[in-house]
Amino acid sequence: MANIAVIAYSTYGHTNTLAESIIKGINESGAKGTLYQFEETLSADVLAKMYAAPKPAYPVITPDDLKKYDGFIFAFGTRYGRAPAQVSSFFDQTGGLWATGALIGKFGAFATGAAGQHGGHETAIMTSIPFLTHHGIIYVPLGYGNPTLFEETEVIGGSPWGSSYVAGSKGNLPVTDKDKNVAEFQGKSFGTLVSTFVKGKSL
């Protein structure tokens, strides 16, 4: 069975909702999904001033945890069109894994979200791909396999780069059922792909 980690960073909760739908899809594919969170780097004081939501109960990922998985889906809200510092800080702790080639041949994908429809969904993912590239992790795009990605009649997240949500400028918009459905689809298709590879390798 393929083992897949979904690692989320969320300040206000939207990304955790998306990540939970991704996990659902991974488990539907027959792979085993495990949900983690990135370590927080902001102080409790700063988080309180940002009106941050309480942290979920998911375990905090360590670099060594990555070795246990065949694939990873990294999920985080957009910060100035890029990944949050908390995600970069974690990536910067993986030098030991890079030096030993520990993640070569594993699979990786991204999910994100932003306040606005045009606030950087694609750029947050695109600018994170070098992390995968340098580790030799194979990037798996979402593509256009889910029909929701063709809809144009309402505010909707998701792109060929990965599932996503639109949170609104005050974080006032919930993650929609359609966005959850795309996230579940991403988990299921990623899980199916990684499982096929793991099965093939064991033959």
Ligand X SMILES: Cc1cc2nc3c(=O)[nH]c(=O)nc-3n(C[C@H](O)[C@H](O)[C@H](O)COP(=O)(O)O)c2cc1C
Minimum separation from the CB atom of position 157 to ligand X (A): 10
Please report whether residue 159 would count as binding ligand X according to CB under 6 A.
Answer: no
Please report whether residue 14 would count as binding ligand X according to CB under 6 A.
Answer: yes
How many residues bind to ligand X according to rule CB under 6 A? 19
| Region of 36-44, 108-116, 134-142, 152-160 interacting with ligand X (CB under 6 A) | 108-116
Please report whether residue 158 would count as binding ligand X according to CB under 6 A.
Answer: no
Minimum separation from the CB atom of position 79 to ligand X (A): 4
Query: What CA–CA distance (Å, rounded) separates 28 from 142?
Result: 17
Please report whether residue 71 would count as binding ligand X according to CB under 6 A.
Answer: no
Please report whether residue 79 would count as binding ligand X according to CB under 6 A.
Answer: yes
Q: Which is nearer to ligand X, 5 or 175 (CB)?
A: 175
Q: Where does the chain have alpha helices with state H? A: 14-28, 44-49, 85-91, 95-99, 121-126, 129-135, 177-202
Query: What CA–CA distance (Å, rounded) separates 118 from 130?
Result: 22
Please report whether residue 180 would count as binding ligand X according to CB under 6 A.
Answer: no
Please report whether residue 120 would count as binding ligand X according to CB under 6 A.
Answer: yes
Written as six digits, the tokens of 92 are 């910067």
How far from the centroid of its chain's Cα atoms is residue 12's Cα? Answer: 15
26-38 burial, b at 16+ Cβ within 10 Å, e below that, comes to: bbebebbbbbbbb
Q: Is 111 exposed, middle or buried (0-12, 13-18, 19+ CB in 10 A)?
A: buried
Query: What CA–CA distance (Å, rounded) separates 68 from 35?
Result: 13
Backbone φ and ψ for 133, nearest 5 degrees, come out as -55, -45
Query: What CA–CA distance (Å, rounded) separates 87 from 109?
Result: 14
Minimum separation from the CB atom of position 42 to ligand X (A): 10
Q: Which one among 56, 63, 141, 171 touches ligand X, defined by CB under 6 A? A: 171
Minimum separation from the CB atom of position 91 to ligand X (A): 18
Using CB positions, name the residue nearest to ligand X.
119
| Region of 78-86, 102-110, 140-148, 150-158 interacting with ligand X (CB under 6 A) | 78-86
Minimum separation from the CB atom of position 8 to ligand X (A): 8
Residues contributing to the site for ligand X (CB under 6 A): 10-15, 77-81, 113-116, 119-120, 167, 171
